[in-house]
Amino acid sequence: MPDATPEHTLLTPGPTPIHPRAMQALTRPMLGHMDPEVFALNREIQADLRVMYGTEESTFTALLAGTGSLGMEASFANLVEAGDEVLVCANGSFGRRMAEMAARYGARVRLVTAPLGEAINPDAVAAHLDGVRMVAVVHGETSTGVLNPVPEIARLVRQSGALLTVDAVTTAGMEPFHMAEWGVDFAYTGAQKCLSAPPGLAPVAISERAFARFAARRAPTPLWYCDFEGLRDYWEDHSYHHTVPVNLHYALHAALRAALDEGLENRQRRVQEVGAAIQTALAPLGFTSYVRRPEDRLPTVLALRLPEGFDDAGVRTALRERHISVTGGLGPTAGLIWRLGLMGETARPAPYLTLMHALEDILGERGLAGRFQDALAPVPA
């Protein structure tokens, strides 16, 4: 191993580079998970998460000690019982992961799908809601760069009386997310995506309706670690449940503060600006949007169809040699698309300027970096 890791440009759709304020927070001396200072920090995290998710003042928020997938699993583990009808919107690999988890907790899963690269049609959800106890949908499907119409789906689900779980991993903190206004019951994300904190925490928000469903369970959840009541014991009553990773809490607290200091609207604008400049720079080479309908495009994961005859593997290897990570397609889209991350600290001009310079060099093309810079909105004085 070399003793100094060279500067790396991480353009993947997660993990994202750790925010400098989060990096600094990681070096704070360790405290016990039952220390009053940690409880005070946790309270600030809970308040900031309410802002990030757009919840009511009374909504319970917390961090689960695991990655985004633990947030996903906690929903099914706490809110599903054997035999429950659960409708899962699955138009990509994370939707399919939800269906797999729901089935493992005993759900009778109804799938609503869409062709790859297309959003879920709310009419298809409406047609299958009868008798459903819970609906689960991925807001932004990372595997295809598709944004699903969560507000429309939520309106239908509210009328039906079912609970609604939303995967907010590629959206909350970077794109509009309004849990209370839309009527979402369980939302989760992963620390290393839009917040640019280290991986290992899943911020969640749980509605009162979800707690009521949990309280009416016939049997305790088989997932002791993320039992809703156990979470409340620690986060609200300050009694021991398990040892939370205090150093990761420090870092997430700093990253979340940085996001709210910047302003959620400013972050949305940053994603739009950098995304548009990337497309302007790459379009003359033959890169086009993979997601056909503009309203279905997820701003934080820019899925671009590669030009005819483009050497995907060769170019990405050459980029990797220059310490630049770019993610290709998954399964059926492998070799067909690139998925450029625009979450958290990745959605900045500097890392993408590095990419443009490297591509000029690798492809023997000129003008990419210039086009990229010209396309960026001029910085106000």
Ligand X SMILES: *Cc1c(COP(=O)(O)O)cnc(C)c1O
Nearer to ligand X, 69 or 113 (CB): 69
d(CA 309, CA 187): 41
d(CA 191, CA 184): 20
Sign of CA dihedral 225, 226, 227, 232: positive
Question: Which residue type does 236 have?
Answer: E
CB 259 to ligand X: min, Å = 17
CB 6 to ligand X: min, Å = 25
At 49, give phi and psi (nearest 5°): -65, -35
d(CA 119, CA 124): 11
Nearest-CB residue to ligand X?
68
Nearer to ligand X, 59 or 300 (CB): 300
Beta strands of the chain (E only): which ranges?
Answer: 9-10, 60-64, 85-90, 108-113, 134-138, 140-141, 146-147, 163-167, 186-188, 202-206, 288-289, 301-305, 324-325, 327-328, 337-341
- The dihedral region occupied by 99, where left means phi > 0, alpha psi between -120 and 50, and beta the remainder, is alpha
CB 89 to ligand X: min, Å = 12
CB 226 to ligand X: min, Å = 13
Q: Which residues pair with 62 in a beta bridge?
A: 204
Show Cβ contacts of residue 151 under 8 Å, excluding neighbours closer than 6 positions: 178, 182
CB 198 to ligand X: min, Å = 11
Give the number of C-alpha atoms closer than 13 A to the C-alpha of residue 38, restricted to the C-beta side: 21
Nearer to ligand X, 19 or 315 (CB): 19
Nearer to ligand X, 14 or 203 (CB): 14
Report the interface residues with ligand X, using CB under 6 A. Answer: 14, 67-69, 72, 94, 138, 142, 167, 169-170, 190, 193
Report whether 339 belongs to an annotated binding site: yes
CB 368 to ligand X: min, Å = 27
Nearer to ligand X, 14 or 54 (CB): 14
d(CA 294, CA 291): 7
Nearer to ligand X, 198 or 230 (CB): 198
CB 170 to ligand X: min, Å = 5
Nearer to ligand X, 92 or 362 (CB): 92
Residues in binding site: 339
Residues in binding site for substrate: 339
